[in-house]
Amino acid sequence: MGKLYKRDGRWGIDFRDARGQRVRKVVAADKSVAQTILADAMKAVEKMKAGVLMADPREGRKPIDGQIDAYLAELKRLGRDDMYRYTIRKHLEGAAESQGWSRLTDCTPQSISARLKQLADANLAAKTQNAHRADLNAFFAWCVRTGRLEANPCAAVPKSAVKADKKRRALSPSEIRDLLETAPPERAICYRFLALTGLRRSEAAQIQWAHLHLDGVNAHIELPPTITKSGHAEAVPLVPELAAALRDHRDDASDRDPVFAEIPSMPEFRDDLADAGIEEVDARGRKVVLHSLRHSLATMLAASGVPMPVAQRIMRHRDIKLTAEVYQDEAMLPLHAAMQALPSLSSPAVAHGPKAASGA
Q: 6-53: per-residue pLDDT in tens? A: 999 999 989 887 777 788 889 889 999 989 888 887 777 776 666 655
What number of residues does the chain have? 360
Q: How far apart are CA 344 and CA 247, in angstroms?
A: 50
46 CB-near residues (< 8 Å, 6+ apart) = none
For range 132-159, the mean pLDDT: 90
Its CATH architecture, for the domain 64-145, is Orthogonal Bundle (1.10)
Q: Predicted confidence band at 360 (pLDDT cuts at 50, 70, 90)?
A: very low
Burial of 169 (0-12, 13-18, 19+ CB in 10 A): buried
Please tell me the least confidently modeled range out of 25-34, 283-292, 319-328, 338-347.
Answer: 338-347
For Cα atoms 317, 84, 66, give the angle at the middle one, nearest 5 degrees: 165
Residue-wise pLDDT tens digits, 48-58: 666 655 556 67
Higher per-residue pLDDT: 336 or 355: 336
90 CB-near residues (< 8 Å, 6+ apart) = none
Predicted pLDDT of residue 188: 96
What CATH number is given for 173-334 in this structure?
1.10.443.10
Please tell me the least confidently modeled range out of 28-32, 85-89, 165-169, 334-338.
Answer: 334-338
Supply the pTM of this predicted model: 0.56
Predicted pLDDT of residue 359: 46
Q: In what order do the strands lie in the sheet with 212-213?
A: 212-213, 220-223, 234-237
Please give the torsion angle defined by the CA atoms of residues 98, 100, 101 and 106, in that order, rounded to the nearest 10 degrees. Answer: -120
For residues 198-233, one letter each, b for 16 or more C-beta atoms within 10 angstroms of the residue's C-beta and e for the rest, the string is bbbeebbbbbebebbebeeeebbbebeeebbeebee
135 CB-near residues (< 8 Å, 6+ apart) = 87, 88, 91, 92
For Cα atoms 56, 62, 68, give the angle at the middle one, nearest 5 degrees: 105
Where in the chain are the domains? 3-53, 64-145, 173-334
